[in-house]
Amino acid sequence: MPEPRHIKVRATFMSNSKPPNMESLPNRRDVLTGIALTVGTVFLPRLSGAIAAPLPSVKFPFQPRERISICSYPFREFIAGDRHKPGNPSMDLKDFAAHVVETFNVTKIEPWTHHFPSTDQDYLQTFRKALEKAGASIANIAVDTRDSPYANDLEERQRAIAYSKKWIDVAVTIGSPSVRTNIARAQDAKPDIDRLADSLRQVVAYASSRNIVVHLENDDSVSEDPFLLVRVVTKVNSPWLRLLPDFGNTLAAQNETYSYRAIDSMFQYAYGICHVKDSIGNDQGEIKHVDMARTFTVLRRRSFRGYCSIEYDAPGDPYQPTAKLIEKTIHYLS
């Protein structure tokens, strides 16, 4: 398979996306010491204060199909584990990448933590060898935990931090450039920006030391509201903490005006990955449809260069809808 083409650019920052009341970054020479970096996307909104760590430098491909990843979550009824549906074929996660290459002609996957049968070194090394044999790689790991990083209870916050760090180590082992860590709802507190930022600073400090980007997704309408996530990212103020815009999740809980304003805000702080879906069901059983053209227009306007991870999220067999989403994504990226 031919090597993907990459865009070589000198790191710059968008001058037209400065959040209100935030100071400018140090000049480019001070931050980058005059070195040209090969990066996937370097169009950050201006974040106040000095950057203590080097910028992430993931080499994202340029060709539309090579920018596509497939989430393992939609295939949960076909992958061995507690979500597997009896009667369906069953595969081990380590075989998912080869299956995706053969079925969809896509070489990037985004595995979900619930699909890992083990995180011991033997399994992870076997998984990595299976990726290499398939000519595939990881775009991101979707990490879910029940512990909340903003809980009143200190021990719960510490467990959430430790869990995120564990998956950062897994990312290093299997060659993932990033993780998406979720913000679980706390049972003893409403979302608290200060506690959440304090927890995420610890996670991000560890992640940056291991050259791993941490993403936050608009998955839960309370603990992961898009505008809450934007506030957290600007408060933590690190290029290693970024947002993962999901095309449909907010639409399931909010009206269209709110949802598309939210997706635009999130793409200002996106880096390595977004989740592509064209529909999603809400709690009332209603299917809401994503305006794909509108959302990809936002993606392009915000100069997003990362992966578009396909996450079909509706009842039924995921195979044909995933194939259709791949072709739609290629169309809008072309």
Task: State residue 279 phi and psi, 5-degree precision.
Answer: -160, 160
CATH node for 63-333: 3.20.20.150
Q: What confidence tier does 14 reach under pLDDT thresholds 50, 70, 90?
A: very low
- 154-209 pLDDT tens trace: 999 999 999 999 999 999 999 999 999 999 999 999 999 999 999 999 999 999 99
Edge-to-edge strand list for the sheet holding 213-217: 141-143, 178-181, 213-217, 241-244
Q: What confidence tier does 105 reach under pLDDT thresholds 50, 70, 90?
A: very high
Between 287 and 229, where is the model more confident? 229
Predicted local confidence at residue 30, as pLDDT: 36
Q: What confidence tier does 138 reach under pLDDT thresholds 50, 70, 90?
A: very high
Tokens of 137: 């790689």
Tokens 């044999």 label which residue?
133
- 49-101 pLDDT tens trace: 434 458 999 999 999 999 999 999 999 999 999 899 999 999 999 999 999 99
Burial class (CB in 10 A: 0-12, 13-18, 19+), 298: buried
Q: Say if residue 225's pLDDT is above 50.
A: yes
Q: Where are the domains of the chain?
A: 63-333
